[in-house]
Structure 1
Amino acid sequence: MNSLREDLTKMVDVALWEWLSPHAARARVILVAPNLDLVDVGVALTEDNTVLVQSWIEDGWLRHPTAEELSAWNGDNQRQFTSLVVPPFVLAKP
């Protein structure tokens, strides 16, 4: 395992919505589809693999939360997400 992958793997954690919501307000939260690994996405973003990231976006596997999701989660600040911070974004899986 390379150093970047090891470092990102150590950074994966659980976050409550109340911690993520300020980042979502600045459009910094990116939802990651269940079929993708947070660390794989973090590596692709960090290494600026635009072809791969763009394909995930086009397939709908990476996206910003919808207004409906934001509304529901704002009513449930204790909702948990698996998350990984890859500045300037926070990758999250509900």
Structure 2
Amino acid sequence: MSNVRADLAEMVDVALWEWLSPHAARARVILVGANLDLVDVGVALTEDNTQLVQSWIEDGWLRHPTAEELSAWNANKEKEFTSLVIPPFVLAKLNF
């Protein structure tokens, strides 16, 4: 029996914007707020916890990048994010 949380935790990695930008162009990058853990979000999506995910969206903790963010990151393709792929999406958290 697989442990979803442990499996997802092993998949968390650092990604450069250069690698994420093609996914963002297809609206597949979801930014995860600072107060949320990538693995928690990944588990919620994997387990189809619609109510929890919807509450995060409504609170602004899960969202697509803004046009301004995309422009800034396209100018700095070396910008680093912590990321987790949950097909068809890529969860990304900005590294400061």
Q: Does the pair score TM above 0.5?
A: yes
Amino acid at match of 1:6: A
Alpha-carbon separation, structure 1, partners of 2:19 and 2:7: 22
Alignment partner of 1:5 is 2:5: yes
The superposition leaves residues 20-51 of structure 1 with CA deviations (integer Å, 9 ceiling, x where unpaired) of 00000000000000000000000000000000
Q: Secondary structure at the match of 1:48?
A: coil
Identity of aligned residues (%): 82
Aligned length: 93
Hey, what's the Cα distance between the residues in 2 that align with 1:71 and 1:7?
33
Q: What is the TM-score with the length of structure 2 in the denominator?
A: 0.96
Matched with 1:55 is: 55
Large movers: runs of 4+ above 2 Å: none
- TM-score scaled by structure 1? 0.98
Match of 1:46?
A: 46
Q: Which structure 1 residue ranges, 5 or more long, are not aligned? A: none
Which sections of structure 2, spanning at least 5 residues, go unmatched?
none
